[in-house]
Amino acid sequence: MLSFSTANVWLKSPAAVFTANNEDAKGGVVIRGNTIIELVASGQTPKTSIDHYVDCSNLVMTPGLINTHHHFYQTLTRCVPGALNKPLFPWLTFLYQVWKNLDPEMLYTATQLAGLELMLSGTTTVADHHYVFPKGLENGIDIQVEALKVLGCRATLTRGSMSLGQSQGGLPPDSVIQTEDLILADSQRLIDTFHDRSDEAMIQIALAPCSPFSVSKTLMQDTAQLAAKNDVRLHTHLAETENENTFCLKKYGMRPLDYLESCDWLHERTWLAHGIHFNPAEIKRLGAAKVGIAHCPSSNMLLASGICPTVALEQAGCNIGLAVDGSASNDCSNMIQEVRQSLLQQRLRYGAEVITAERVLSYATKGSAAVLGRHTIGQIKVGYQADFAFFSTNELRFSGVGDPIAALVTCGAHQVSKLMVGGQWLIEDDKHNQILQDQIHQKHQQLAKILQSKVP
């Protein structure tokens, strides 16, 4: 793996560059170490003295894609027959009976496979929401940190939680929930141990009750206070289905957003997964509070949940990021394909003139960075981290294209040729430099069969 720690390196003359900010970098980008130090305009050469260059003339360059919501462990339960063709609540009820059997080896392997799948599709920063902690998996987030260190991508790992099991009217079995004191203590431990506040951070921690109705109101409030004390972000699922609105009205006498606000969550450190079923007044409130939204188009279509009102939320003041969501509700962890899915789904709501390839690519880069509170990734800009995805258009699907940026989205790019994170080449010639993909795949398949054999 080639490192550019002290050299000035010119990533020279890509076939096209999407910067996410309209700056001219058609002549390429100069990096030193992990940082972008110069953008080279079209037809120009660098003003900086150059030690090395990399010919990128046959590649389309974008900022590294940023996934804002996932459940890595769910890669072990893709297309499980008993969960197929079900809406969210019945789907969850069935799969919780499988997920309660997760063990440390399964989580480690699922994290590596999901992370690698994302990286091969152009992702340099991943976010995972892990909230299933059966006996023996109490240190699940520690396991994920170790798994991702080998991959070399950046990550926001959210310490999920569930404290209301079936015996208390919740969906999950009691064997996967935890006491609230334990959840809060472990949340603080993880922040103290792993959360990096620097611009070049590889691991950050956020706090993430699974949903407002899988924990008590006390835990929602205490989690918000803990996040404020430590200046970390908050995350949860919200407004994914109409059934959720009905449930909250019945249980709490208010809609989900009102309940969220009553728990002190309505502010700019919060981001929400899905965010579909908001009314116009709620959208206005979300925008005023600068709440972020993880837009999950494939999952929302697969579970027939609905269409996120991205443009309305964005116009109100929300940051919109893109996410593949859990593999069991998407059955794919491919970010560049998710960009295309967003384009197609959102055009149904807002039209072709409004939803462009550039807009949905911005959701996956600049927007996602803002959602995660990361200020030096998601754009190709001087001073930002050297995180890039390079896609080859030397495939049948791209033959005859006029606009290479639009082609990545509409023609269906699916895998990077090269991927750089913090100035390090991690993927070259379509393969990860440090990971034996076939070994991970084989082990993951074996563990998935073991887990799925426990289907009730």
Residue spans of the chain under pLDDT 70: 1-5
Q: What is the pLDDT of residue 244?
A: 86
Q: How far is it, in rounded angstroms, from Cα 328 to Cα 315?
A: 31
Q: pTM higher than 0.75 for the full model?
A: yes
Integer CA distances (angstroms), 4 to 50, 238, 324, 376, 434, in order: 12, 42, 31, 19, 17
Q: Does domain 8-63+384-432 have CATH number 2.30.40.10?
A: yes
H/E stretch holding 124 reads strand 123-130
* Bridge partners for 160 per DSSP: 208
| HSE-CB of 69 using CA atoms within 13 angstroms | 33
Residue whose entry in the numeric block shows the structure tokens 């003003």:
47
Q: At residue 216, what is the residue type?
A: S
Q: Does residue 381 sit in helix, strand or coil?
A: coil
Confidence (pLDDT) at 167:
85
How does strand 35-40 pair with strand 203-209? unpaired
Tens of pLDDT, residues 100-151: 999 999 999 999 999 999 999 999 999 999 999 999 999 999 999 999 999 9
- pLDDT for 2 equals 46
Give me the residue spans of the domains in the chain: 8-63+384-432, 65-371
Q: Which residues share a beta bridge with 65? A: 123
**pLDDT score, position 455:** 77
Beta bridge partners of 390: 61, 418
**Per-residue tokens: 33:** 């170490």
pLDDT in tens, 42-80: 999 999 999 999 999 999 999 999 999 999 999 999 999
* Token couple for 417: 């040729």
Nearest to 66 by CA among 20, 110, 109: 20
Q: Give the count of beta carbons closer than 10 Å to the beta carbon of residue 1.
A: 10
CATH superfamily placement of domain 65-371: Metal-dependent hydrolases (3.20.20.140)
Question: What pLDDT is recorded for position 87?
Answer: 86
| 4 CB-contact burial (10 Å; exposed 0-12 / middle 13-18 / buried 19+) | buried
Q: Cβ(319)–Cβ(365) under 8 Å? A: no
d(CA 243, CA 438): 41
- Closest Cα partner for 230 from 268, 261, 196, 271? 196
Q: So what's the pLDDT on residue 330?
A: 86
pLDDT of residue 4: 55
pLDDT of residue 1: 40
Which residues make Cβ contacts (< 8 Å) with residue 396, sequence separation at least 6? Answer: none
